[in-house]
Structure 1
Amino acid sequence: MTKVVIITGISSGMGKAAALYFQQQSFEVYGGARRVERLTSLSEQGIHTQQLDVTDELSIRGLVDRTISEQGHVDVLINNAGYGEFGPIEEVPVEKAKQQFDVNLFGADRITKYVLPFMRHQGFGRIVNISSVGADIYSPLGGWYYATKASLSMWSDVLDSEVRRFGIRSVVIQPGLTKSEWSKIAFANARKNLATDSPYEASFDKLEQLFSKISTGATSETLAKLFYKAATDVKPKRRYFNSVMDHGMVTVARTLPRTYKAVLTRLMK
Structure 2
Amino acid sequence: MATAEEADRPADSDGVGADSADTNRETDTRTNTGAQTDPETETETETETDPKTGTTTADDRYTRKQCVLITGCSSGIGRATALAFLQRDWQVVATARNTDDIAELAEAGCTTLELDVTDPEQVARAVEQTVEIGGAIDCLVNNAGYAQTGPLEDVSTADLHRQFDVNVYGPHRLTRAALPHMRAQGEGRIINVSSVVGRISVPGMGSYAGSKHALEAMTDSLRAEVEGFDIQVTLIEPGPVQTNFSERLDEELPEDERTPAYETLYELLDEAELIGSGAGGPFASEPKDVAAAILDAASTPEPPARYPVGPIAQYGVYARFLPDRLRDAAYGLIQRLV
TM-score range, shorter chain: over 0.9
Match of 1:147 in 2: 210
2:144 is aligned, of 81, 88, 92, to 81
Structure 1 position 245, deviation (Å): 3.8
Q: TM-score, normalised by structure 1?
A: 0.94
Match of 2:190 in 1: 127
Deviations 1:79-99 (A, max 9, x none): 000000112211211001000
**Identical amino acids, percent of aligned pairs:** 32
Does 1:198 find its partner at 2:260?
yes
Structure 1 position 258, deviation (Å): 3.6
How large is the RMSD of aligned CA atoms in angstroms?
1.7
Deviations 1:137-186 (A, max 9, x none): 222221111000000000000011110001112110100000123x2354
Farther off after superposition, 28-37 or 152-161: 28-37
Structure 1 position 211, deviation (Å): 3.7
Match of 1:157 in 2: 220
Deviations 1:209-247 (A, max 9, x none): 244443221111111111101111211111101234422
Match of 2:285 in 1: 218
Does 1:252 find its partner at 2:315?
no
Tell me the matched-pair count. 268
The structure number with the bigger radius of gyration is 2
Does 1:233 find its partner at 2:296?
no
Helix, strand or coil for the counterpart of 2:165?
helix
Does 1:187 find its partner at 2:254?
no
Residues 105-124 of structure 1 mapped to structure 2, 5 A cutoff = 105-124=168-187
Q: Distance in 1 between matches of 2:87 and 2:233?
A: 23
Does 1:208 find its partner at 2:286?
no
Farther off after superposition, 254-263 or 90-99: 254-263
Q: TM-score, normalised by structure 2?
A: 0.75
Helix, strand or coil for the counterpart of 2:159?
helix
AA aligned to 1:164 is: E
Q: Distance in 2 between matches of 1:262 and 1:241?
A: 25
AA aligned to 2:154 is: E
AA aligned to 2:92 is: V
Q: Distance in 2 between matches of 1:33 and 1:85?
A: 19
Task: Say whether the 8 Å CA contact 1:31–1:63 is kept in structure 2.
Answer: no
Match of 1:42 in 2: 105
Q: Distance in 1 between matches of 2:182 and 2:295?
A: 18
The unaligned stretches of length 5 or more in structure 1 are none
Change (3 A) 1:159 1:197: closer
Q: Distance in 2 between matches of 1:70 and 1:190?
A: 37
The unaligned stretches of length 5 or more in structure 2 are 1-60
Task: Say whether the 8 Å CA contact 2:154–2:259 is kept in structure 1.
Answer: no
Match of 2:162 in 1: 99
Give 1 or 2: higher helix fraction.
Answer: 1
